[in-house]
Amino acid sequence: GENVEQHPSTLSVQEGDSAVIKCTYSDSASNYFPWYKQELGKRPQLIIDIRSNVGEKKDQRIAVTLNKTAKHFSLHITETQPEDSAVYFCAASINSGYALNFGKGTSLLVTP
């Protein structure tokens, strides 16, 4: 969606390295920020999300940070593995509702 910008569009890292994907949003009423992973030919799957009252959330090798003042949030993947290779999408709620605007995606390639 036009209100969510995502960078970079492609990212290549070596196995074991960290990967960071960044997103910015424009709607100051947005209060929910999920991240999705989509493997080739498959449906997007929710991997982690964060709400506006939290600055950081971690789940094993994946973490998300949110800076509401600057209107940006980031996905951090540590100790990357080849199976992390996929397209990752960030999203932000439209106003404070339940529908989502998505970024255009980041194609992550983890090379052994």
Partner 1 sequence: NAGVTQTPKFRVLKTGQSMTLLCAQDMNHEYMYWYRQDPGMGLRLIHYSVGEGTTAKGEVPDGYNVSRLKKQNFLLGLESAAPSQTSVYFCASSSILDRGAFFGPGTRLTVL
Binding site for partner 1 (CB under 8 A): 1-2, 6, 32, 34, 42-46, 49, 89, 91, 93-94, 97-105
Residue 59 C-beta: closest distance to partner 1, Å? 13
DSSP string, 19-44: EEEEEEE--TT--EEEEEEE-TTS--
112: nearest Cα among 90, 84, 74, 88: 84
**Amino acid letter, 33:** F
Q: How far is CA 101 from the centre of its chain?
A: 12
**Which CB sits closer to partner 1, 30 or 65?**
30
Q: Which is nearer to partner 1, 2 or 83 (CB)?
A: 2
Phi, psi of 22 (to 5 degrees): -120, 145
16/55 with CB nearer partner 1: 55
Closest approach, Cβ 52 to partner 1, in A, equals 12
